[in-house]
Each structure stands twice: as structure tokens, then as C-alpha cells.
Amino acid sequence: MARTCVFCDGTPLTKEHTLPKWLKSAFRGDAGSRALHVRGTESTQIQHVADAFNATVKIVCATCNNGWMSGLENGVRSFLPDLINGRAAELTQQDQNALASWCLKTMLMFAGQNKHPTLEMLPLVSRDPAVVTLIDGARWFWHGALCGTDR
């Protein structure tokens, strides 16, 4: 696990929720509130279930966490719950960029939470806050939803 911020190499590290607590209200009942974590290989698999909205990771510094990362959260807060619940939402280009940036940031937090090699495999430029927050039209981001029952 990194001892300096994965984005700027700063310290001290602070805890960041992989999913923001404000997002929990977008889910009905307990849907989305549990996460299954699987680690290891097929023969040495370790599984546990945890509340997805209490999960934190300590891989970012206070400056990033309370600065640009907080700005990303605020940038999607007004429309993300509607998208999660399948309600129509008209997104400006700025909203679309904010959503793509938020998803990339959130993916990196999940990678850090699970100590996934993805975090180390990403080129350093991909973890630069300027790149994470300025996703341009040259990149594609696909958003989808599963509407149905669990198997």
C-alpha cells in the first residue's frame, strides 16, 4: 500500500470513502449497500461481505481528498442519483466530463481498497489529478445499468 498519495505523492494520507455516503440514499432499501470482496486465487479465495458505503481506502492525501476530489463529488451529486435510478437526466458536456472523471477516480479508489495491481499498472500520468479531472472528448466512457434480478 502506498505511503504517499497516489495522485501527488503528498502526505499525510487520509481515509477516502470508495463510494460517498450521500450516494446511499439513491439506492432503494438495502440495494447496493453490500459488497462482496474476493481476493486470492481460485484455490485460495477469501470472501467477505461488507457495507459498500462504509468502505474506505487510505491512499490519498488531505489536499487531494479535500480539494479536487471533493470537487468531483460535488460535480455529480445533483444528477448521479437520478441516473442510478434510471430517471432521465440531461447532461451538459461539463456534466459528462464530471461523471467520467468521477468514475475514473472511484475506480482508482476501489483498486486501492482491494490492493489491486491495476493501481500500480496505471501509468503515472493516468493518476495525475489534471488528467483525472480533465477527461476530454477524445476519450470514451460507457455508462450502463442492470435492470433485473440477481441470479
Residue bearing cell 450521500: 22
Per-residue model confidence (pLDDT) at position 131: 54
CA 48 to chain centre: 20
pTM, whole model, 2 decimals? 0.69
- On whether residue 56 sits in a domain, the answer given is yes
Give the whole-angstrom CA distance, residue 49 versus residue 46: 11
Contact between residue 86 and residue 147 where contact means Cβ atoms under 8 Å apart: yes
- On whether residue 101 sits in a domain, the answer given is yes
What is the domain range of residue 51?
Answer: 13-133
Quick count: other Cβ atoms within 10 Å of Cβ 53? Answer: 19
Q: Is 66 helix (H, G, I), strand (E, B) or coil?
A: helix
For the chain, the domain total comes to 1
Per-residue model confidence (pLDDT) at position 134: 47
Give the whole-angstrom CA distance, residue 77 versus residue 99: 10
Measured CA angle at 55 (ends 61, 38), to 5 deg: 115
Which three cell numbers mark 74?
Answer: 460535488
Peptide bond into 129 cis (omega under 30): no
Per-residue model confidence (pLDDT) at position 65: 94
Task: Write out pLDDT tens, residues 10-41.
Answer: 999 999 998 898 998 887 765 555 555 556 66
Amino acid at the residue 66: N
Give the whole-angstrom CA distance, residue 22 versus residue 32: 13
Phi, psi for residue 112 in degrees, rounded to 5? -70, -40
- On whether residue 145 sits in a domain, the answer given is no
- On whether residue 89 sits in a domain, the answer given is yes
- On whether residue 1 sits in a domain, the answer given is no
Task: Write out pLDDT tens, residues 87-139.
Answer: 988 999 889 888 988 988 888 888 787 665 555 545 544 555 555 554 444 44
